Amino acid sequence: MDQRWTILFVDGQGRVTPYKRLKRLLAIGLLIVVTTISAAIGFLILNQKSLGEKQKLQKKLNAALGEIESLRHEKDLLLARLVLTEVRLKEGKVRTEENPAEKQSIRRPPNESSEVSAQTSDDPPEARAAPLIESDTAAPSDVRKTPSQTQPTAAQEQLAATPVDPAPEAAEEPSTTNSRVAIEDFQLTHEPDTQTFKAQLTLKNTTSNSQRVTGKILVVLKNDELQPQEWLTLPPATLVASRPSEKTPGQAFSIRNFKRMKLKRTSPASTDLYDQAAVFVIAENGDLLLEQTFPADF
């Protein structure tokens, strides 16, 4: 018995069309489906491996960022301790420089002190007290005076004759109402290609227990010969009566130890117009923490 079969297509006019390649087409279609499913499974496995590697790298990156943050925190603490140590050393040096004459007046030559001590130890108590009692009536030759009582020492005369040179004025003394911050390493630069004014400074927290200080900072480039509306502010802001107010915009900051601040503004103005740079540090509640003027050296 013949078990072969085929498909015949009969149209409306009764014409019969046999379709002999059906098995081949079914085999090709089945092969395509199997190949597609196998490729999808392979891509899924590769994707899972890539996701696993990505998660491992992300964990390593997070751990590295955590270590960097901890090292940065330790660096800030060490720099803050260094700054406090420098301030204490400067204060001690200033105190020693303020009282040199007092130290010179207190000091005595070794031979003089030994001579006076030998005299006071050899004389009887009555002889020691006699010059004190008879100092109003005794002749000058009867009273023995030490060189320190009759004339100033050579060190005192040299200190009195030496003029005191004023300290160089690198920047004006800061005008402040609440000295919780200090400014160091102030720098001004200008980029002619982009017409950009840039100011960089280190803002330090000077509180005793490193309390966090939050506020905003503003730099004003000015000249006494210019009108206040011709002054240049970094960042752009509007001044009220030639000074920043509570609502004046500025660059925000929040520090516990110190922070390097960078302020900039684009303007076609020339650097020759300005000879002063005033820095205003304003607290979050609007109080003026610090006002300090520097020479505008570009």
Mean pLDDT of 36-41: 95
CA–CA dist 134, 119 (Å, integer): 18
Please report the pLDDT score of residue 180 as a whole number: 87
**pLDDT tens, position by position, 42-64:** 999 999 999 999 999 999 998 89
Mean pLDDT of 260-285: 93
HEC string of 158-181 equals: HHHHCCCCCCCCCCCCCECCCCCE
CA–CA dist 207, 80 (Å, integer): 11
Please report the pLDDT score of residue 70 as a whole number: 86
Q: How many alpha carbons lie under 13 Å from residue 116 in its C-beta half-sphere?
A: 11
CA distance readout (Å), 177 to 108, 206, 233, 257, 262: 45, 14, 22, 20, 24
Please report the pLDDT score of residue 238 as a whole number: 87
More confident residue, 261 or 154: 261
